[in-house]
Structure 1
Amino acid sequence: MMLQRMIVRLAALAGIAAPLAAQSVKPIATGFQVGDQISLQVEGDTVFSKTYTVGEGLVLTLPVIGAIPLAGVQRADVESYLTKQLGRFLKEPMLHAKGLVRLSILGEVEHPGFYAVPADEVIGDALMVAGGPTRNAKVGDWRIERNGERVWDGDPLRQAIARNMTIDQMNLHTGDQIVVPLMPRKDAETTWRIIGILVSLPVAIYGLTRLGH
């Protein structure tokens, strides 16, 4: 898994046409979307602890309490917000809440499918949820689509990966698709040869330093 993470990041860095310092990709604060999910765990309680789906009108419907509005609430702030809201009904609630974005991860990954991915997950690690890229994946050219339109690809996506931007910071929505294309066989052989060299370099350098002593 560590090797796969390194491959994704190296592919992103190698493919960037402009220096990172000159890039214009910036994180975006993101609110909840209809269809997002919230994983809620309340300590010492079994009534509220479960995963909920954000409903129409941007509301979270809890047992007994009913609808809690989420309009204007950032995904990153959901835990503190729900602590305050549940504090109206429970005495000093201790809870853990995390926003989840349901994404399709398709193409050359080990386990293509639909996944509820934490909104604070680094985008480069999102592929790992689906088992990581296959040996035939063209990891430098994957893309993110929404309703058939590309919303992230090319240099902007590579820069986002290199900067460790999260799903939330990239304003991804439930239903977005991460698509990893197939690499032509000749290119795949070259890529894995280069990766093999990069992986073996630290070992070779260590061996040389030992000989020097």
Structure 2
Amino acid sequence: MKGFGRLAALLLVVGLILPPTQAEETSNQSSTFNPGDKVKVMMWRQKDITGEYQIGADGNLRMPLVGSVPASGLSVDALTDTLVAYYSAYIKNPQIILIPMFRVTILGAVKMPGSYWVSGSEKVTDLIAMAGGLGGKAVMEKTKITRGDKVIVVNAVEFLRAGKTLGDIGVQSGDIVVVPRSRWPNWTEWAVILSTVALGWSLYNSIKD
């Protein structure tokens, strides 16, 4: 158990463990795994095994070394115990941490809008990076988080500066994050507009004269 304690402490330092509130929310949202769900598996000193895995249509995980592992219908703790049992035949005292993942959709002023798998430990900047970065005219101060029929407006700039994670700000499975675009021209567009106006005025004066 000492090895597991060191693993948990290390993961907490690097920010890979879900904040308590987010972990509770994720657990409440899905008490057992279903086909199509995705999990992050982390094993102490086993880089080839640590990674993200999706449960197949048959309800099984395809894991390195041990192959097919039944996952559908199991809780986080039960699946963790199952993985430990499978890997114990090959690895002495395997230390495993399992983190459920969930989908978040990001739309608006981003280059690659769509749905992405997250664990809640990612920073706001990570979600934006997944979506290809910000597009033009992004107004992050008025970012909207839509959850069902509820819309929450947040200042994402403050979250970026503070290094907040998605779990810190309460992002949940199925949420839609919308980064609005400004309706006003940016500086580059103003330069084009002004140069066009100046050219038009110059042509008008030349014709008039």
Q: How does the TM-score come out when normalised to structure 2?
A: 0.54
Q: Helix, strand or coil: the match of 2:104?
A: strand
In structure 2, relative to structure 1, the CA distance for the partners of 1:125 and 1:189 (3 Å cut) is: farther
Moved more, 168-177 or 103-112: 168-177
CA drift at 1:49 = 7.4
> Is it true that 1:173 corresponds to 2:175 in the alignment?
no
| Count of aligned pairs | 147
CA drift at 1:145 = 1.0
Kept in 1, the 8 Å contact 2:140–2:157? The answer is no
In structure 2, relative to structure 1, the CA distance for the partners of 1:168 and 1:140 (3 Å cut) is: same
1:94-141 deviations in Å (ceiling 9; x for gaps) = 556444331111111111111113421012331111011112222222
Kept in 2, the 8 Å contact 1:27–1:170? The answer is no
Residue in 1 aligned with 2:74?
Answer: 68
CA RMSD of aligned residues (A): 3.9
Residue in 2 aligned with 1:52?
Answer: 54
Q: Helix, strand or coil: the match of 2:129?
A: helix
The code of the aligned residue for 1:110 comes to: K
Residue in 1 aligned with 2:41?
Answer: 40
Matches within 5 A, 1:102-141: 102-141=103-142
1:189 to 182, 187, 190: 187
1:128-171 deviations in Å (ceiling 9; x for gaps) = 110111122222222211114213x235x554333222112333
CA distance in 2, matches of 1:140, 1:27: 27
How many percent identity over aligned positions? Answer: 23
Unaligned runs of at least 5 residues, structure 1? 1-25, 54-59, 74-80, 194-213
Q: Select the structure of larger CA radius of gyration.
A: 2
Q: Helix, strand or coil: the match of 2:133?
A: coil
The code of the aligned residue for 1:52 comes to: Q
Unaligned runs of at least 5 residues, structure 2? 1-18, 31-35, 62-67, 192-209
